[in-house]
Each structure stands twice: as C-alpha cells, then as structure tokens.
Amino acid sequence: MKITSTLEHYELLIDEGNDPAQDPPALQTYMSRWDGPIFFNSLIPKHKVVLDIGVGTGRIAREVLKMDCKFLVGIDISPKTLDRARSNLSQYANVELVNSDINHFIRPNTFDAAYSVLTFLHIEDKEKALFNIYSSLKNNGTIVLSVSKDEEWLECNDRKIKLYPIKVEEYIHLLQLVGFEIESIQETESKYATIIKGKK
C-alpha cells in the first residue's frame, strides 16, 4: 500500500469521482455524527462572516450559507477539490475560496466565527493553526471544532495517509494556550466525535 500525502490523497479523491457534497442520504446521515444539529447549533452562522477550514467540495459550507451566513471564506490545500467546491457553491455570491493551508493563512480581525470538521486530523502543528485562527477572529469571535478519535494512519483504496490525532483534552489545552476560552464540549451520537466550542 502506497504512502500518500494529504494533498495527493484529496486530489486523487476528485479524480476518483468522490464528492461529499453529492453524498446520498445514507452517507449524509452517517456524516451528521460530526456535523449534525449539535455542530450547527454551536456555530450559529446567521449574519456572520465565517471561515471554513478545509472546505473540501463545499458540503458543509453549503449548509452554512443556507443559514444566512453573511460571507464565507473557505480554504483548502487541494486545487481540484476547490474547483469542485466552486461548482457546488456557484449559486452563492457571498463566498471566497482560497487555496491555502491554515498554517499559512491569517486575516487579522476578520471573522466572527471559524469552524473545522475533521480537518485537524491532517494538521501536525495544531498550535500554529489554532493561533492563526485566533488571530483571524474578531473580538468575541468563536471557533467550533468537530474532532474524531482516529488511528495514526488512514487507509483508502490502495494508499495510506498519515494522520495526527490527539485527545480531546489536548485540543482543549491548545485552544486555551493560544487564548480561547472553552464555552462547551459536546459528544455527538457517535462516541468517536466531539464538538468543541471556544471563544476569543
């Protein structure tokens, strides 16, 4: 089995026809363990300028935009994935999609809220990523992280992708280290998923 970088993996997923924004209902129900009602009730995107870290093909961004989000900036490391997101979100004028890594993305004092669903599994330097998010939020801005308990390697088709999982307690420590106050921690229907909400 070939070891593949995160970028190459997501580029290959597009080549293979994988588009989560077009998932059938059964798979959408499965994914709602990470981004279902608990997630959206924590985010509350209405009238907010929002940062989506790891926008992918726009599956979650589309739901956020439906909830009267004022403006959404979605970042992702995969150009092919962003091309698909542009297509999936083409009906919305209040969207900007950026090819970037959160470890290199800062827009000081710009966003009311930021969120990430499972993307942090791929981020090795989580402290720097959280610092960049903290710096990009306005005063009283919030972050909502949906995280999962995973192994160190993800296997998909004929390839393996290195992950960087940490415990929920470690996420809480890092969030507090960069300046966030923890507002809530909620387990979803799956024992493997946790929603963490912090405030700047």
Q: What is the pLDDT of residue 23?
A: 64
Q: What is the pLDDT of residue 81?
A: 96
Alpha-carbon gap, residue 195 to 36, rounded angstroms: 10
- 115-149: pLDDT as tens digits: 999 999 999 999 999 999 999 999 999 999 999 88
Q: Is the pLDDT of residue 183 over 70?
A: yes
Give the residue numbers spanning the domain of 57.
2-199
Residue 12 has phi, psi (to 5 degrees) of -65, -35
Rounded mean pLDDT of 151-159? 86
Q: Is the pLDDT of residue 112 over 90?
A: yes
Residue 191, domain CATH: 3.40.50.150
Q: Which of 97, 114, 130 is nearest to 21 (CA)?
A: 97
C-alpha distances in Å from residue 101, one per residue of 27, 90, 121, 122, 129: 27, 22, 13, 11, 9
Q: What is the pLDDT of residue 18?
A: 81
Q: What is the pLDDT of residue 144?
A: 97
Q: What is the pLDDT of residue 27?
A: 60
For all residues of the chain together, what is the average pLDDT? 92
What is the percent of the chain where pLDDT is above 90?
72
Q: Which of 179, 81, 104, 192 is nearest to 146 (CA)?
A: 192
Alpha-carbon gap, residue 34 to 164, rounded angstroms: 18
Q: What is the pLDDT of residue 36?
A: 81
Alpha-carbon gap, residue 194 to 200, rounded angstroms: 20
Total of domains in the chain: 1
Segment among 18-32, 100-114, 171-185 with least mean pLDDT: 18-32
- 8-41: pLDDT as tens digits: 889 888 888 887 777 677 666 766 667 788 899 9
Retrieve residue 91's tokens: 């009906």
Alpha-carbon gap, residue 136 to 115, rounded angstroms: 12
Alpha-carbon gap, residue 129 to 143, rounded angstroms: 12
Coil/strand/helix, residue 148: strand
- Using a cut of 0.85, tell me whether the model's pTM lies above it: yes
C-alpha distances in Å from residue 89, one per residue of 52, 66, 86, 117: 13, 11, 5, 18
